[in-house]
């Protein structure tokens, strides 16, 4: 056994102990072999986009991995409908458009909600004016 191998073997329990200290649950090697993507890379991407330090539970890591797999499968199936033998970035962009436009859809929904709130306020104002102008005690 080389010195490097001994250091790697010695470092594994230390890394596992550090993960346990932080309360993080690791994914065992047999389970990780079944995952569609390397779990470490997915965890790294999640951590890069978190502003505050958070503990990631095992089920979050696995769910993110499987979700990305399902998204890629869906994109692949959509690209499969293309009549061409060679698929280009245009085909990929077309197939992945629905995932890229989620943020745009959310922005549209927020704009519509603001317009509806303004209309509701105007209607409430009109109703109040009508109630003030109508004689008291008149039943509808």
DSSP designation for 85: S
- 2 confidence band (pLDDT: 50, 70, 90): very low
Instruction: Give the Å distances, CA to CA, from 79 to 99, 102, 132.
Output: 14, 19, 62
**Sign of CA pseudo-dihedral 40, 43, 48, 54:** negative
Phi, psi of 56 (to 5 degrees): -100, 120
The pTM for the full model equals 0.55
CB-based burial of residue 61 (10 Å sphere; 0-12 exposed, 13-18 middle, 19+ buried)?
Answer: buried
* Each residue's pLDDT tens digit, 45-71: 999 999 998 899 989 999 999 999 999
Q: Distance (Å, rounded) from C-alpha 46 to C-alpha 61?
A: 9
Q: Distance (Å, rounded) from C-alpha 140 to C-alpha 137?
A: 10
- The answer to whether 15 and 3 have CB atoms below 8 angstroms apart is no
Share above pLDDT 70 across residues of the chain, in percent, rounded to a whole number: 77
Q: Distance (Å, rounded) from C-alpha 70 to C-alpha 77?
A: 10
Is the pLDDT confidence value at 21 over 60? no
Is the pLDDT confidence value at 44 over 50? yes
The whole-number pLDDT of residue 8 equals 47
């Amino acid at each position: 056994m080389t010195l490097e191998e001994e250091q790697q073997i010695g470092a594994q329990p230390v890394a596992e102990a550090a993960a346990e200290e932080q309360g993080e649950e690791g994914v065992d090697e047999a389970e990780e072999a079944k995952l569609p993507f390397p779990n470490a890379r997915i965890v790294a991407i999640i951590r890069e986009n978190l502003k505050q330090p958070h503990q990631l539970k095992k089920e979050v890591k696995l769910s993110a991995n499987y979700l990305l797999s399902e998204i890629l499968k869906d994109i692949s199936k959509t690209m499969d409908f293309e009549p061409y033998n060679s698929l280009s970035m245009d085909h990929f962009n077309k197939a992945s458009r629905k995932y890229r436009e989620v943020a745009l859809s959310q922005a549209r929904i927020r704009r519509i909600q603001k317009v509806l709130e303004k209309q509701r306020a105007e209607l409430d104002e009109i109703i109040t004016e009508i109630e003030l102008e109508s004689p008291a005690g008149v039943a509808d």
